[in-house]
Structure 1
């Protein structure tokens, strides 16, 4: 029986109507209890005030009665005492008795038993409430005047029951009215629900709220396609916002990385300067060599910017062949105590839309992380293994897996795995960019990454890459396109124009080239470079890509229109993503003979000039 009631209650509690009634009942009961308390407390306060006032009035009258009785005694005693002195005591007793009878009549007159006020004279105040002491020594009178506690409690019990019953009787019709109003609203709502389930037309009910709901449902149905389109746009905006947030994070991280590199360069320069003053040439050479290494690190860090945005467009790689080419490099990376297994399941060559360098970047980052994960717990695991496997899921998708038996990771770490500059190894062992680079490279091919990992159970990265059709005519890589040498440079170079908006770069290049014996002119922006080339013939033009007034491509476009293309143009750029159609076109046409990516060394420049 009890279990059935419990099951019924659980089933009913899932109904909005049951919850509505239950909550209404609880709130109503609480409100009624509070209302009863307020009414009873208020009535008790008024009643108590009335009793006190009645007792005060009665006490005053009783004291007046006693005082008058004593005055009457004094008058009569003076009259009769001369006749009979012994009569005085009898007279006092007679007058006191008469006064007590008068007091009792007064108390009965002021009592109101119907409203719980029964005044009593008692020798002790224990059975009284609001008692007052009446004492008149002349008449030997001492008693307590108060209201009967028993009569008071019985009265209030009756009154409380009456109030509770009255409020309860008022609540019953209120609850019935509430149920009626609820059903008046619920029945049309049930009708709307049934029509929606059946797919029938919704009819207006006459209730403002329900009719507004019906209008909203019809409006939603009619605008479903428009809302889907808006949702798509909002999703794009959210993705854009997320990208901007990531860019902000990357900017802060890059500022930190480059500031560290600049700090190291500054320290080495100061140490070299100190060693030079001391005549310590070996120390000078050491610090200058350190600066070269630090510059190379900065160049490598800047190169990674390309991978944050996209891979080099148009390039592809044959996965199995590229991995075979990397086997030796991978074995050098992996310590001897760690087993490296590489498995290929390729029945033919499969092409993916990644450049060979990008594929190499993915593999090197994942293998480096695998090595670090195993090294962290190498004393606590028996099997130390890194496994690389390539398998073909279908003709349109290829799976590259890199797994290890290392420390694994928690769900919290996995959630932040591809966040830029997030690392658990400390920045002395990594910049926190490796997996972010991997993620972006894979994402930009319309591929995806899945990660399986648990603490102390190893990690597996699953990279799904789309397979593209192999091109009939084998294309060269974009970097090779930018280095096309269809035309041989002039046999002898005498005059050179250096066009760059950075003063230090212009001055350094001019000083170096003049030391080699060349005549060097300079231009600080694209407009000056154009004017100089139109006014004078130069054997070689070193042209910066981005300059004020006019960029390098715009300068070349105007020179081509004027038929004043210099015989040998080298494009200099510090932006690794300068792979535009115009640059590629000028390179194929032989206008641009070479692209020098900043930072480059004087040796690189001299090698280009002298061949």
Structure 2
């Protein structure tokens, strides 16, 4: 066995330089050529290895390593060619060639099966075409997204318009009941004032009749506040809402909407029941349900409203949790199964043209979904319908004050305005005279004007302690007067009185030293608010 390998280590062979007759030209030509080839061969594997290590996504990484081994072995054969010029280590050279042969065969055996896969790789032209197609797809997607955003914006505008039209439709349906209520209010106010005029020398009776008239005014104020909340265009504000408070606030409107042949029952509500929703939308939703119940009872009947807390799996469309179920039940004609199935669809209605747009229940369903809840319908033909508004229950917390009534809770200041100068601007003669009398009775020095232009002329000649201005006036509005006045009288406190809902114009100037007082208000509220604002401005 040893004899087989002895020739590999026998040093008796003549070196390769002997065969070249030790001619320097030949010797050094071989040395230089083999050295350059070896260096090139050694550098190529370094490039391949560096490339594979940096590109882990290369599909044919294994063959690159085989190429590196093969080319390295080739480089070693050229090193051995230089060595054997002076030293006859032909055995070692043979071993290097065997390793090179093995690496070459392994590389070739691996490379041939990869040929179909390599040919299947996309060409640069195919890649450019794919990139162009991808760019076109992205462009189409961007265009589709732009169209979708535009459609969503149009849909939101349409939904806002539908909601506003439903509010106005509901107000139209309420007009008869509201007119009846206001006629009663006017009768109460007018009758008591007439009695006061006739018996002005009887103080006890005058005070009683005055209190009765004042109660009627407060009742009218509550009605107009609800009407303004329903008719205005406003941003939706999610807040913690007491269910009992909502039903209490809207009860007068509900009574005025059901007609004389129907009866309204509101089951006592747990004060701890609260939901997170938009208060005005919830009130409008309940009003819509009551109007639908009224229309379902042409011969009259009873509409019952209740609310209760429910826990667990309350509806298939809702996750397990705590909910509040607000139900409106009537004993009217009920709905057929095919009508019940479509009752929540927008514009679907069984009423004749002119009696309804088919938006009531769909609007209620929209409020429920926006608040994380749903609507459940139960109806039996001839026996009545129950519509349940199911909303997630939230912990009860102190509910913020209604906007536009900020000044109602003023407690600072007394009833005396002695030494204070007030500029009062209101285009309504009756209101202006009443406010002047109230402020003058509190010993204020009052200068009044019937328009914004006249008021601004007064401002050029005086520096009042307070500006009281009506919001809605011909010509310059109260908001415009306030802005112009504060431009020339920095820090001037402004009290805006208005019979309208709070609007964006008012919000634009609202801030420090600007207070909004909702009509109607008492003389005591006006005086206390004025005192507080003047005192605060002087502290600053």
TM norm structure 1: 0.42
- Structure with greater contact order relative to length (CA < 8 Å, sep ≥ 6): 2
TM norm structure 2: 0.47
